[in-house]
Chain A
Amino acid sequence: MTAVPQTLPQDSPLAKVRVDVLPLLLVPVLALLMLPLVGSFPTWVTLTVAGLAMGMMVFMMASGLTLIFGLMDVLNFGHGAFVSVGAFTATMILLPMKAWVEAESVWMNLSVVGLAILLAMLVTGLLGWAFERIIIRPVYGLHLKQILITMGGMIVAEQLIHVIWGAEQIPLQLPTTFRGAFIFGDAALEKYRLIAVGVGLAVFVTMFLVLNRTKVGLLIRAGVENGEMVEALGYRIRRLFVGVFMAGSALAGLGGVMWGLYKETLTAAIGGEMTVLVFIVIIIGGLGSVGGCFIGAMMVALVANYAGFLVPKVALVSDILLMVAVLLWRPQGLYPVAKR
């Protein structure tokens, strides 16, 4: 293999790499614009941190769904089932180990919640595997059937939760050291919300690193753009499908645990209630884009919080209004994923 002279023209113009920063500026610009409207700095800090925390929890639930849609072209309206199952599975650890939850030790609290999260992610990941094989696989490429059958799957899952855990609401106690708030001046920052921000950021950074620094991640990104070509390179995209579906379901389970602890009360509909919000987030972000999903989740939650404080009636429709505004600006979402 000896090198031969360069044989093609080298001076073809190259389009400059355009880093699309505008969507990245949305969250800080929105927060800064709201500061004078809110009036009080401590209130603004509290609202902003609460919004970011909620946004992180929504991101955990939505990130898996956006990858599932981007890679597999599957509209999974049953994604909320994994949120519910995750939250209820956590009760299998949190309720029997109540003493650890009520202990005044950070490490015992962290251990019990960590264990609950691990179990919830394991169960929802395995459930995702079964869901993909039994419910999704027969309807690949058939969007209408996907919507119908995944909504049906969601209903079945909710009823199964009633069968297994009962139809009554289950109170979920927040661990002792996660309660309360840090006070900075006049601003109160709830500890659990800060934890949610930390967990959400950890999930985002992990997903970012996996998608950008590992071969599997690059294959997922390539598969989102052109699955057929990934197969032509010699990779079995079906395995990627299953892996992504399991990971996406496990992330929804994680989101379910975090959301359940935040609400402190569980019903079987806890996931279903989030479905519309989660879809709004992934549409705003651009279907298939994890970065877009992250910004979309932050925007939806912050706008809901600010609107709830400033014009409470608008808060009821703030997520829809935000989606309309974003789609008028960018009809494919904030970061549209190139498709073949």
Chain B
Amino acid sequence: MSEDLLRLEGVHTHIGQYHILQGVDLAVPKGGITVLLGRNGAGKTTTLRTIMGLWHASRGTVRFAGEDITQARTPEIACAGISYVPESMGIFSDLTVRENLFLAARGVKSFAEMDEARLEWIFGFFGALKRFWNQPAGTLSGGQKQMVAIARAIVEPRKLLLIDEPTKGLAPAIIQGMVAAFRELKQTETILLVEQNFSFVCALGDTVAVMDGGRIVHSGAMADLAGDLDLQHRLLGLSLDSHQ
């Protein structure tokens, strides 16, 4: 995991008059899960949206697979191989689960052309989707909607998944299931995962970066952070023990 798939160097992002990202340096190695931690308002979501081109960096560079995508448009970035699962999940509630996944499969023109083996692989993680295949996504529970959002991101092979707080608002039982799903997913995918639920990600993450005030204030191996209570306290104002 030495090769960086994604690299942000000195990235600044302004939203209106607000200076949100103030020089973010972040490297996401190829393979496994990189976790982006930080308090509310630290700039985690803005970092993902800047990578995705939904907000453009005012300074600095974003390089993906060796290409400069700093000023690329969102569709171009998506076509370059990055999937995005926003905090709001972004599912199309009027469309069925099948139609949501169909739209994410850019390479196919009809439902019949969808890769059945790939779908079965996804149903292996998220079996509920098979049961509710033809249900409008808006009628699903919060956990099931999150399954749709993640399934949509992996319905075709992608180089990198950006996932923003997938456990937010979900019941503990669902989160446990999601841990198992991510553990399987990271065998084949590269994931940049934004989370606030430390106990969820410390079991999953390979590398970690911590944000504060629009900057990366720590980066390293997740195992090192998980094993250092003082560092957790200093960076996150918490310890893993308090979450168990």
Residues of A within 8 A of B (CB): 1-10, 12-18, 215, 218-219, 221-222, 225-226, 228-237, 337-338, 340
Q: Mark B34-78, 1 if CB is under 8 A from A, else 0.
A: 000000000000000000101000000000000000000111001
- Residue in chain B with minimal CB distance to A215: B109
What are 9 A-B pairs with beta-carbon distances under 8 A?
Answer: A1-B117, A9-B174, A10-B128, A12-B141, A215-B102, A226-B92, A232-B52, A232-B54, A340-B90
**B145 CB, nearest partner CB in chain A, Å:** 10
Q: Which residues of B97-129 are within 8 A (CB) of A? A: 99, 102-104, 106, 109-110, 117-118, 120-121, 123-128
| Neighbouring B residues of A221 by C-beta, 8 Å | 92, 94-95
Interface stretch (choices B177-185, B194-202, B217-225): B177-185
- Nearest CB of chain A from residue B83's CB, rounded to whole Å: 8
The interface residues of chain A lying within 8 Å CB-to-CB of B74 are 228, 231-232
A338 touches B138 (CB 8 A): yes
B136 to chain A, nearest CB (A): 6
A3→B95 CA distance, assembly (Å): 26
Residue of B nearest to A222 (CB): B92
Shortest distance between the CB of A262 and any CB in chain B (Å): 34
Q: Are A14 and B126 in contact (CB under 8 A)?
A: no
Q: With A16-B139, A218-B102, A234-B75 in contact, do A9 and B92 touch (Cβ < 8 Å)?
A: no
List residues of chain B with CB under 8 Å of any chain A CB: 52, 54, 73-75, 78-79, 84, 86, 88, 90, 92-95, 99, 102-104, 106, 109-110, 117-118, 120-121, 123-128, 131-132, 135-136, 138-141, 143-144, 147, 152, 173-174, 177-178, 180-181, 184, 188
| A residues in contact with B102, CB < 8 Å | 215, 218
Residue of A nearest to B149 (CB): A229
Residue of B nearest to A289 (CB): B94
A233 touches B106 (CB 8 A): yes
CA distance A174 to B204 in the complex (A): 73
Shortest CB-to-CB span from A23 to chain B, Å, is: 15
Centre residue among A228, A229, A232 by max chain B CB count within 10 A: A232
Is there an interface contact between B126 and A8, defined as CB atoms closer than 8 Å?
yes
The prevalent SS among residues of B at the interface is: helix
Which residues of A sit under 8 angstroms from B86, Cβ to Cβ? 229, 232
Contact status B103-A7, CB under 8 Å: no
Q: Given A229-B90, A233-B78, answer yes or no on A6-B132 (Cβ-Cβ < 8 Å).
A: no
Query: Given the complex of chains A and B, what is the CA–CA distance between A337 and B95 in angstroms?
Result: 12
Residues of A within 8 A of B178 (CB): 7-8
CB neighbours (8 Å) of B79 from chain A are 234
Which of A2, A6, A10, A337 has the most chain B CB within a 10 Å cutoff? Answer: A6
Q: Is the CB of B128 within 8 A of A8?
A: yes
Instruction: Tell me whether A3 and B123 are in contact in the complex, defined as CB-CB below 8 angstroms, given that A222-B95, A225-B94 are known contacts.
Output: yes
Chain B proximity of A11: nearest CB distance (Å): 9
Chain A residues near B132 (CB, 8 Å)?
Answer: 14
Query: Contact at B75–A236, with CB atoms within 8 Å?
Result: yes
Q: Other than the known A8-B180, A229-B86, A230-B103, what 15 A-B pairs have Cβ atoms closer than 8 Å?
A: A1-B117, A1-B121, A2-B124, A3-B124, A8-B126, A8-B127, A8-B143, A9-B177, A14-B132, A15-B141, A16-B139, A231-B75, A232-B54, A233-B152, A338-B94
On whether A226 and B125 interact (CB within 8 A), knowing A8-B143, A9-B173, A15-B139, the answer reads no
Are B141's CB and A13's CB within 8 A? yes
Measured in the bound complex, the distance between the Cα atoms of B86 and A10 in whole Å is 23
- Residues of A within 8 Å of B54, CB to CB, are 228, 231-232
| Residue of B73, B125, B131, B188 with highest tally of chain A CB at under 10 A | B125
For B52, give the chain A residue with the smallest CB separation. Answer: A232
Instruction: Write out the residue numbers on chain B whose beta carbons fall within 8 Å of the beta carbon of A4.
Output: 124-125, 184
Determine if A7 and B92 form an interchain contact, defined as CB atoms under 8 angstroms apart: no
Give A338 to B88 CA distance when docked, in angstroms: 14
Residues in B neighbouring A1, C-beta threshold 8 A: 117-118, 121, 188
Query: From residue B216, how far is it (CB to closest CB) to chain A in Å?
Result: 24
Task: Determine whether the beta carbon of A218 is less than 8 Å from that of B103.
Answer: yes
Q: Contacts of A236 on B, CB cut-off 8 Å?
A: 73, 75
Complex Cα distance, B125 from A337, in Å, reads 31
**Contact across chains for B144 and A17 when beta carbons are under 8 A apart:** no
> CA A3 – CA B125 in complex, angstroms?
8
CB distance A219 to B138 under 8 Å?
no
Question: In this complex, what residue of B is CB-closest to A11?
Answer: B128
Residues on A with beta carbons closer than 8 Å to the beta carbon of B174: 8-9, 12
Shortest Cβ distance from residue B2 to the other chain A in the assembled complex, whole angstroms: 25
